[in-house]
Amino acid sequence: MPARTITAEAAGTWKLGDLTVNRIGLGAMRLTGSAAFDLGTPSDRDRSITVLRRAIELGVNHIDTAAFYFSSLRSANELINRALAPYADDLVIVTKVGPSRGAAGTWLPWPTPEQLRGQVEENLRQLGRDHLDVVNLRINAPGPIAEHFGALAELRDAGLIRHLGLSNVRAEHLAEAQAIAPVVCVQNRYGIDARRPGADDFLNLCGEQGIAFVPFFAIAGEGRESGATGAENAQVRAIADAHGVSSAQVRLAWTLHQGPHVLAIPGTGNPDHLTANVAAGALRLTEQEMALLDAPDAPEATDVEA
């Protein structure tokens, strides 16, 4: 008898505002090439489209993307459009604005609040949509965010955006944004060995307020945009061996065990890795295993991501 295919439903669901998503989704950054933001190594177009369509077959209905996810010849948004349009009614596409890159791949200056409308419209154009389900303001600059978040709130009121979120933020940013408009999700770097001081408290605060907490680099860890380094701490390896799964699957399972409001958006351009990532939603870790994983070998991260 063939093995049962595990789908994204195994991880359970959460709501981004009024939009229900399965808790394990797909990050689109790695669809464009082997290393993020590398213009010299475009991905195989057909393979990336296969990954996107296979994700939908596996029940993934939450895709995280951005207009600045592109490499030579490849754009994550346009791959999504090509592979999945016309979009299923239950598919939630989350994008982010704030950072932007020129055609040569270089990062542009932090935008003014007025320039955010152009970024939103570019996402709309690339995705072929008349509105965006969720837009996260990703913070790359110090200081207050009220003017930038307020500009997005105006676009929400105009019908271009359905819900708003934040990325790469601290609790004070969340409070500042909530004084302007509801926040449905927070995306921060968070993983077994990638937690800022106070990150656990912030994760719990989001849960208390019904806000989804969406870690990035949950698998990659210190590899960040370039992907996992291949190094792994002993606890993760031992638990992976005990369950007969990969270290990446243990990391994803640990992520989902942090609370019912925690979502996972592992990125991949590999169909086999996609299947394994989705299957991690069915992996259940014991209290003893979680305790071991909460005492990692690696030091905590202390910086706000650029």
Bridging pattern class, strands 62-64 and 161-167: unpaired
pLDDT of residue 34: 62
What count of Cα atoms within 13 Å lies in the side-chain half-sphere of residue 275?
Answer: 7
Highest mean pLDDT among 95-99, 222-226, 297-301: 95-99
In this predicted model, which residue has the larger pLDDT, 119 or 103? Answer: 119
Between the two ends of the chain, the Cα-to-Cα distance in Å is 49
Q: What one-letter code names the amino acid at 171?
A: A
Encode pLDDT of 66-88 as tens digits.
999 998 889 999 999 999 999 99
Task: Give CA 263 to chain center in angstroms.
Answer: 8
Whether 87 sits among the annotated catalytic residues: the reply is no
Q: What pLDDT, on a 0 to 100 scale, did the predictor assign at position 72? A: 85
Residue 3: the pLDDT is: 61
The total of other beta-carbon atoms located within 10 Å of residue 193's CB is: 19
Residue 196 pLDDT more than 80? no
- pLDDT at site 36: 62
Type of residue at 299: P
In the predicted structure, residue 117 carries a pLDDT above the cut 80: yes
pLDDT in tens, 44-54: 999 999 999 99
How far, in whole angstroms, is CA 62 from its chain's centroid?
9
Q: Is the confidence at residue 224, as pLDDT, over 60?
A: no
Query: In angstroms, rounded to a whole number, what is the distance separating the alpha carbons of residues 218 and 115?
Result: 31
Name the active-site residue from 26, 52, 61, 69: 69
pLDDT at 159 over 70: yes
Residue type at 58?
A: L
Residue-level pLDDT at 1 = 42
All structural domains of the chain, each given as residue ranges with its CATH number in brackets, are: 17-228+258-282 (3.20.20.100)
Question: What is the chain's mean pLDDT, rounded?
Answer: 90
pLDDT score for 35 = 63
Do the Cβ atoms of 14 and 212 come closer than 8 Å?
yes
- Kindly report which listed range (108-112, 162-166, 230-234) carries the lowest average pLDDT score: 230-234
- Express the helix, strand and coil content of the chain in percent, nearest 5 each: 40, 20, 45
CA–CA dist 69, 105 (Å, integer): 10
